[in-house]
């Protein structure tokens, strides 16, 4: 409620301020028996405050022990199990990778050795074939040489056998041309045989 300025002047400043406070309902009732201290710091309420503090702390401790800590423990245990499983899986995968690398390196070494063996066999086979072909060619040449030598010997023998006849005919022709006379065949043969020896 508002007090008019004129009414305030009539009743006086102090009376109007007390009336205004009563009229507005804003005055704080005064306890005659209470001390003027803040209630939590009032020493007369300490025992009840300590009792309620102990009850509240006990309930909070039980709440933490029965509800919060088991949940946090379960979360930690789940995480540690998951981490252990992940580590086990990583170790298993690393071992599998190591085994795969070892198998690959072993297969690569086997393939290299097999390639070397195949190459060596091919070289040996080619060398053996070349040696066989060379020996066959040498044998063929040898047989041709032997045949040629035999044929040359036959031709030589034939030529040597005919040389006497040719020499006799040539000598007879020369003697006839030079002397104009004829000689006997026996004389010419004797002369040719003396010249050969």
Is residue 25 over pLDDT 70? no
Lowest mean pLDDT among 94-98, 146-150, 187-191: 187-191
Counts of helices then strands in the chain (DSSP H, E):
5, 0
Taking CB atoms within 8 Å and a gap of at least 24, the contacts of 160-164 are 164/189, 164/192, 164/193, 164/196
Mean pLDDT for 15-32 is 51
pLDDT of residue 117: 93
Q: Residue 186 in contact with residue 165, Cβ under 8 Å?
A: no
Q: Residue 1 in contact with residue 24, Cβ under 8 Å?
A: yes
The pLDDT tens digits of the residues spanning 154-175 come to: 888 777 777 777 777 777 777 7
**In whole angstroms, how far apart are CA 92 and each of 96, 97, 104?**
6, 9, 18
Model's pTM, two decimal places? 0.37
Lowest mean pLDDT among 4-18, 131-145, 159-173: 4-18
The pLDDT tens digits of the residues spanning 57-115 come to: 999 999 999 999 999 999 999 999 999 999 999 999 999 999 999 999 999 999 999 99
3 band by pLDDT with thresholds 50, 70 and 90: low
């Amino acid at each position: 409620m508002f007090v008019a300025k004129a009414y305030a002047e009539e009743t006086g400043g102090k009376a109007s301020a007390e009336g205004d406070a009563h009229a507005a309902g804003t005055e704080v009732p005064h306890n005659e028996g209470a001390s003027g201290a803040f209630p939590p710091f009032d020493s007369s309420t300490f025992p009840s405050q300590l009792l309620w503090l102990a009850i509240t702390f006990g309930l909070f401790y039980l709440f933490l022990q029965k509800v919060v800590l088991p949940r946090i423990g379960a979360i930690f245990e789940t995480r540690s199990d998951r981490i252990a499983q992940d580590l086990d899986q990583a170790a298993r995968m690393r071992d599998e990778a190591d085994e795969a690398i070892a198998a690959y390196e072993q297969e690569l070494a086997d393939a290299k050795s097999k390639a070397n063996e195949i190459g060596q066999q091919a070289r040996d086979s080619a060398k053996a074939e070349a040696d066989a072909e060379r020996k066959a060619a040498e044998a063929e040449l040898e047989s041709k040489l032997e045949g040629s030598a035999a044929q040359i010997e036959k031709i030589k023998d034939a030529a040597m056998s005919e040389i006497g006849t040719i020499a006799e005919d040539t000598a007879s022709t020369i003697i006839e041309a030079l002397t104009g006379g004829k000689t006997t065949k026996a004389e010419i043969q004797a002369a040719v045989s003396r010249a050969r020896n």
